Structure formats: C-alpha cells, structure tokens
Amino acid sequence: MKILNFGSLNLDFTYTVPHFVQPGETLSADKLQTFPGGKGLNQSIALSRAGAEVFHAGCIGPDGEMLRRQLMDAGADVRFVKTLPDARTGHAIIQVDAAGQNCILLYGGANRMVDSGLIGEVLSHFGPGDWLLLQNEISGMEEILRTAGEKGMRIALNPSPITADIPHFPLDNVEYFLVNEVEGAALGGKGSPEQMLEGLKRRFPRAKIVLTLGKEGACYFDGEQTFFQPIFPVKAVDTTAAGDTFTGYFLTAIGEGLSGQEALKLASAASAIAVSRMGASSSIPSREETGRFLAAAKTR
C-alpha cells in the first residue's frame, strides 16, 4: 500500500502544567519536554508503524533535521522532505494538564511555504490508485487536492485544524473524511453524532466518514452502514497524538482490505496505547504492540 502524506513537520515544546493558563495569569510549568510532532509527521509515523509504505512530503528549516531523522527511523521515505535554508521549522507550544488533556498553539514556519513547484514535483511521482493523506497544517492545500484528484489518486482528508476556508476547498474527490466533533460540526452541521454523519453524507455523497468522539469512541459511516467502536479504557497521560495515531492506523487497515468496522477497532486500540504515554510521535505504538493489546483486551 503506497501512501503519500503531504503534511506538516513540527517541533513540539510540551509543558506539563497543573491547569491550562488563563488570561492574565502567569503559571509555572512542572516540566518541559521537546518532541518531534506536527499532524503530518505524527500520521506518517503512525502509518509506517501500522505497516504501510509511506512517503512524507513537506518542508523544514535547518533547525528541523531531527524531524527528517525521526521519519527515517520510523521507516518512512523522506525523499520529498525539503529543507528551506532561510526558514524556521514549524513548531507547537503544547500545554498538558493534570487530566492529560492538551491545548496547542501552532507556528506554521516552513509548513506554510509549500509552493507550486514542490507540489508539482512531488505529485509527478504518484498516479491513479495511490493514496494521498492530507491534514490542514500546510500551505497549498487547494492545489494539492485539485491536482491529486485530476491524477486519480485516492484521497483521505483529516481537516485539522478546521479553518473557514476548508469548505471552499475542492473536496468532491475526497474518498475518506476523518473528523472529530468540532470538524464534523463545521462541515456537516451541529447536532448529535448521527446528525453530523448525515449532514456530512448529504454534502459529500461519494465519501466515507469517520467521526471520532473522544471518550465516547468513534463512528464509521459509508452511506449504507454505520459502525460504532467504544474506546479501550486506559489511564490517559497525554492525548496529543491520539487522533493522528487513529488516522494512520485506520487508513492502513483500509488499504489492507479490512472492513470499516475492523479498521475502527484497530485504530481505537492504537490510539488507546498512545494516550497512555507522554509525547506525540514517540507515543505511537507498533503494529505488533497493538496486536498484543487487542489480544489482551479479548481476555478481560
């Protein structure tokens, strides 16, 4: 299964705090750790650890070479990662509170410097039947979506972070939407999960929808069948890469020919492992570890 992930590469500065800082408040952090991150990088690592053949495309500055090494160490192909000599690598300021929840401030940096030249060069190596995975942390999204659609690639979109321009992107060729409740409401309308799914399907009748619901689990809807997967109970330490782990594992499973229901289960197990650990990409489990987790869950 050949997947091109055209996505972000970030340095994550993660602060452990007793609670999220409030307006006007000065708060001392208990700990600071630096991790490789960015939704793009996280999802490429999840794809690779799940067993997919993944090519990562994106931009970094000279300060981001550790991100290239991180992708390589995970087994991803990095020939399309471009270093921009005069740019700063994108980064995130992440607060993680005592309950393991997080809030994130992003600086786009080199991620916002993806241009037509790089898009054309990268996509020239892919064609009909190849997968494209996108998030929304890089520039050039409209051109990437349009060009990939014209080439007959199979497109999966995780529209995160959600922005006002996403509904105006050329989305008709997206085969899979992977959204949380905020993204689902923005694209499909507010309401219950069932109402969001119906709204998304009305708007994108040819697409399949995956809706993640945090502690309430996840749903899959293909226009004919709806499947629900509850979470696997674990002690949450850091939820930073939970959604990215889920996306990478779900798409790998679909590419392998597993059903939507089977893919939901595998992705949910992998994300449960991820939230039990600190960090973003460093928390993503291997396929073998996820298999052992699922086997143990059956015996409980």
- Catalytic positions, written as ranges: 244
Contact status, residue 168 vs residue 202, Cβ threshold 8 Å: no
DSSP state of 237: S
Q: How far apart are CA 89 and CA 191, in angstroms?
A: 38
Identify which of 204, 203, 215, 213 has the alpha carbon closest to the alpha carbon of residue 180: 213
Q: How far apart are CA 115 and CA 122, in angstroms?
A: 11
3-state helix, strand, coil in the chain (%, to 5): 40, 25, 35
Contact status, residue 9 vs residue 88, Cβ threshold 8 Å: no
* DSSP run (H or E) holding 57: strand 53-60
Q: Look-up: residue for tokens 């689902």?
A: 184
Residue 170 Cα distances to 91, 98, 130, 166, angstroms: 28, 40, 18, 9
Q: How far apart are CA 279 and CA 96, in angstroms?
A: 10
Q: Look-up: residue for tokens 């990562």?
A: 56
Identify which of 183, 187, 185, 177 has the alpha carbon closest to the alpha carbon of residue 208: 177
Contact status, residue 30 vs residue 16, Cβ threshold 8 Å: yes
Contact status, residue 237 vs residue 279, Cβ threshold 8 Å: no
Contact status, residue 261 vs residue 250, Cβ threshold 8 Å: no
